[in-house]
Structure 1
Amino acid sequence: MPTEVRDISIPRPALPHGELADYELFWRNNYEWLKSRGYVLRARYEPNWKPSWEGTDKSWDKCEDAFRIWFSLNDATRISDGTIVALKQIDERIHPHEADIAQSFSAEPFASDPTNHCTPVYEVLRNPNDQEYVLLVMPFLRRFDDPRFDTFGEAVECFRQLFEGIQFMHKNNVAHRDCTLLNLMMDAAPLYPEPYHPVKTYMKRDFSGEAKHFTRTQRPARYYWVDFGLSRRYNPQDGTPMEAPIWGGDKTVPEFQNSNEPRDPFPTDIYYLGSLIRETFIQEKIGFDFMQPLVTDMVQDDPKQRPTIDEVVARFEKIRQGLSSWKLRSRVVKSRDSPIPSIYRSITHWYRRVTFIVTRVSPVPKA
């Protein structure tokens, strides 16, 4: 079970680690109410929290309660079964459609559709004493490319799922409108034998050591699209939808650069997908040239020239079928990998590779 040190936490305000930031007060103030609804936040957000390192010889950076969460996201333990869940704070005055779209895809007949890669919503919590926000209770997910991909087969399965997920949404008349890097997540629970810390994700949840993990080939992962704050559902009887440009995480959309003219949001989703693969795989890693022709078409300046998601899925399937088992089992190497860690990864990769061949493990893992 190889592991790597990688901290993907977001920079926090320059406050003492034993002091809550303003945005954290929401969680402290709602600690008891959430507990009454069946969810317990970590110690940092208890009303009478005292930093665990105070009065001891321990340094704050060795204590799990020193680290702040993302502004609108927190983790909690579900009391009924001990499951770690994510809580997302939503201001419905700003994002009036998010809860509705997320909930609709979590209900039947959508919930059991294997092509549905929209993050499930277990429950929507509304605090009668705090009408400003609602909380979505969801699976606790991890960034889709952390830990790093071991083989091309693992990356190819990721591509299949991310395309399939947007195809599902488009088929059901919903445009994501921000299907970018930070909104593609992974259910990493199968990869980690012990829970990892929600902020310092390379550490165990209790900070007792580094969180070791399996590869996706050993424990296949499922990917999810999250954050439907900019998403919209359309009535196909109204014809092609036209929306004013709205800026998501990717600021390079060609049709938004020099015009506020309303645009069809579905081709923009295609651009986002192509841009994600171009920047995260083709440009940052070696050997993903096989995706270049499809990606080039997906990121064309003229939205009308881009393929539909159905065409993307069909073309990708032909690409996948053309890849050899040798290619699919080959190791993914980043352009900037350092020599010594790369040698170690190569040795451990070859050990796993031979084992998978002998035991007939598929080169393309499917969750």
Structure 2
Amino acid sequence: MEHLTPAHFGLEPLDLRKLTPQEEFWRDHQRWLQDCGYMLRPRYMLDWQPSWPVNVRGTEYEDAQPLIRALTINDATRLSDGAYVTLKIIKPSLHPYEVDIAMSLCSKQLASDPLNHCVPIYDVLKLPEDNDKVILVMPLLRGWREPEFETVGEGIYFFRQLFEGLQFIHKQHVAHRDISILNVLMDGSMYPDGWHPCNRRRMRDNFRLLAKHFSRTERPPKYYFIDFGISRRYDPDDKAPLELPIRGGDKTVPEFMDDINLPRNPFQTDIYYVGNLIREAVINEYKGFDFMWPLISDMVQDDPAKRPTIDQVVKRFADMCKKLRILKLHARVGLRDESFGAVRDFAHLFTTIKYTLMGIPPVPTR
């Protein structure tokens, strides 16, 4: 298949030797961020000069990597301890509740709760020249889909964190309202030497090398809900709040297909979001998770009133897991369209034996 380039669409190739207008914002605020305790990568230094020759494209060089979402997202190193962080620009005029909700969900009182899977907020930086822009400082996380799941147990571990994380959020009387494939991330437990934020398959410190990683079974990650921009907190006495729909990243919500002006219960919509994420990104992608269909089918019913509450989901899921035998939990879950599945299954036997001898359980634990 022919590789498509910008020229195929009548676009000029991106000149990696120049910052995009969105990237220039970060360059212009580099010294201020440094004074706040956060160091940007070399590309955003005020005196940056490309490290590659003029006649070279530069794609293999670290400082040639442009930000994909430069308008709102960058990464940095926290000077106090060397930790890698994510910087996110938000506008309170557009998302007036995001800072308050995000900060409250990771408050000192709640942060130690093992069921809390809300992204921590380390800092809130107010831009000196713009009252309608603040920067949230969070840990550097990565997409949850790569590397792929290897076993049923790894999937169980993922589902459990999604369910208990949403249960935690709902117990705080908060509806997320925008749970999707992009708004669930995981930490870097599997990547002992980190990764590059612009290309997660590469190392940060040596961009030409692939990032080393372990399996989810060996180094279990923690999964996080992010982006509380359209989340809302409700009165604890209001057990069934009604809110006009706001369409998030998942555009398939059944109740949003009818009258958009009809108020809906956002907690019921959250149930659909999580169920649909598991249906589309896991069950439909991987073999081995068909046992989840009864629960997921109930979570994605067209009638919101017929969906289980998150407490009911957590209980049903726990009961289902008790019935799964250890061989099932160890079983490999290849992609549904994979080739040479039988060969991969045979090779997986040796991995299972290795984990058993090492005393590593089939369902990861932290």
Q: Is TM-score (shorter-chain normalized) higher than 0.5?
A: yes
Measure, in 2, the Cα distance between the counterparts of 1:174 and 1:282: 27
Q: Map of 1:247-258 to 2, 5 A cutoff?
A: 247-258=247-258
CA distances 1:102-144 after superposition (whole Å, capped 9, x unpaired): 1111212111111110000111111222333111111110111
Q: Matches of 1:163 and 1:308 in 2, distance apart? A: 11
Gaps of 5+ in 2: 1-10
CA contact 1:39–1:77 (8 Å) conserved in 2: yes
Other-structure match for 2:125: 125
**Paired residues of 1:40 and 1:76 also in contact (CA < 8 A):** yes
**Range 94-103 or range 124-133, more displaced:** 124-133
Partner AA of 1:157 in structure 2: Y
SS state at 2:298 partner = helix
The separation in 2 between residues aligned to 1:125 and 1:338, in whole angstroms, is: 49
Deviation at 1:350, TM superposition (A): 2.9
| Counterpart pick for 1:60 among 58, 61, 68 | 58
Give the letter aligned to residue 333 of structure 2: V
Partner of 1:5: none
What residue number does 2:246 align with?
246
2:327 aligned with 1:326: yes
- The one-letter amino acid paired with 2:201 is Y
Say which SS state the counterpart of residue 135 (structure 2) adopts: strand
State the partner residue of 1:181.
181
* Cross-structure match for 1:26: 25
Q: Deviations over 1:160-181 (max 9, x none)?
A: 0010000001011000001111
Aligned residues: 352
User: Secondary structure of 1:85's partner?
Assistant: strand
Matched with 2:291 is: 290
Q: Which amino acid aligns with 2:59?
A: D
Deviation at 1:146, TM superposition (A): 1.2
CA RMSD of aligned residues (A): 1.8
Offset at residue 345 of structure 1 (A): 5.2
Distance in 2 of aligned mates of 1:293 and 1:68: 44
Letter in structure 1 aligned against 2:107: A
1:313-338, CA deviations, whole angstroms, 9 ceiling, x for partnerless residues? 00000111111111111112011224
Normalised TM-score (structure 2): 0.92
The corresponding residue for 1:360 is 359
Counterpart in the other structure of 1:8: none
Segments of 5+ residues of structure 1 without an aligned counterpart are: 1-11
Q: Is the CA contact (8 Å cut-off) linking 1:117 and 1:165 kept in structure 2? A: yes
In the TM superposition, what is the alpha-carbon distance from 1:216 to its structure 2 partner?
1.2
Q: Which has the higher contact order (CA 8 A, sep 6+)?
A: 1
After TM superposition, the structure 1 stretch with the greater mean CA deviation from structure 2, 266-275 or 20-29, is 20-29
One-letter amino acid of the counterpart of residue 74, structure 2: N
In structure 2, do the counterparts of structure 1 residues 157 and 38 end up closer, same or farther at CA, with 3 Å as the change threshold? Answer: same
The equivalent of 1:275 in structure 2 is 276
Question: How far apart are 1:238 and its partner, in Å?
Answer: 4.3
d(CA) in 2 for partners of 1:185, 1:359: 28
Q: Distance in 2 between matches of 1:300 and 1:235?
A: 26
Structure 2 residue 193 is the aligned partner of structure 1 residue 194: yes
Distance (whole Å) between structure 2 residues aligned to residue 344 and residue 126 of structure 1: 55
The answer for the alignment partner of 2:6 in structure 1 is none
| 1:27-176 aligned within 5 A | 27-55=26-54, 59-69=57-67, 70-71=69-70, 72-176=72-176
1:338 and 1:47 map into 2 onto residues whose CA distance is 50
- Flag the 1:344–1:80 CA change in 2: closer, same or farther, 3 A: farther
